[in-house]
Amino acid sequence: MRIDEILSKKRTLSFEVFPPKKDAEERGKIFSVIDALKEFSPDFISVTYGAGGSNSKNTVEIADYIQNNAKLNALAHITGGPSSPADVDEVASALQKRGIENVLCLRGDRPVGYDAEYCRYFPHATDLAEYLAPYHFALGAACYPEGHTECESLYADLVNMKKKEEAGARFFITQLFYDNSYYYRLVNEARRIGISSPIIPGIMPLVNPKNIRRIKEMCGSAIPLEFRNMIEIYASRPAVMEEIGYNYAVYQIIDLIAKGAPGIHLYVMNNARTAQAICSRIGRVLHELF
């Protein structure tokens, strides 16, 4: 089913997985993760494209498993940056043949050391969305509550978001964040300039303090002072830190849903236990509000 159609009827619960970098045994493990995620009746599961487009075949294979083996809605990422039109056509056709209706259009991060030629054919997600129009996918796009790290201002980022919608995006999924006020600001400003598509917040529980620096470098996400203080106090106690990370994510989710978010997208990092930890904690909220 098309994600834009689902969003027109209800809130969504969804998860994100990524293609393994290794052998068939690792792919078997990701299939087991997907099977475990079925327990929570997600409205869709997204699968990333891999750095530099290197795992595009694995993306198709995993999306196929989600759609046709697990019988769930698959959202396949396509990254335009490293791709040629022929690459995009190959992946889009393969997805279409497998009955996959949903695609998330991304430019993708430019690897260190690559010049502008890296994004020769699809320098922006809008270019990819326009190219994919003849395939009639339900197109989604990314957005950034704290602004894209390469963008000069929040307003410029919002203008890019508007262009994505005009190019065919029918829903947005945010980059991860830990301060909900940035999400509310994004939604308010997006509506103010005429963006009407649903904006699904993306949540990634922070259960390992070692990931803070990586998260900061990757997407610039700010850690609220109260949460940061808890992390500093309990960083040397992994079991306690894990509980704090999950509980903070639950706090974010309940607050977001209470204030009208159209769904929740969980970055589970190929770990079904993360989904279980979150979904078991939101209990009745999960059943009554989704």
Residue 16 annotated among the catalytic residues of the structure: yes
Active-site position among 5, 16, 39, 226: 16
Residue 93 · residue 80 · CB < 8 Å: no
Could you list the active site residues? Answer: 16
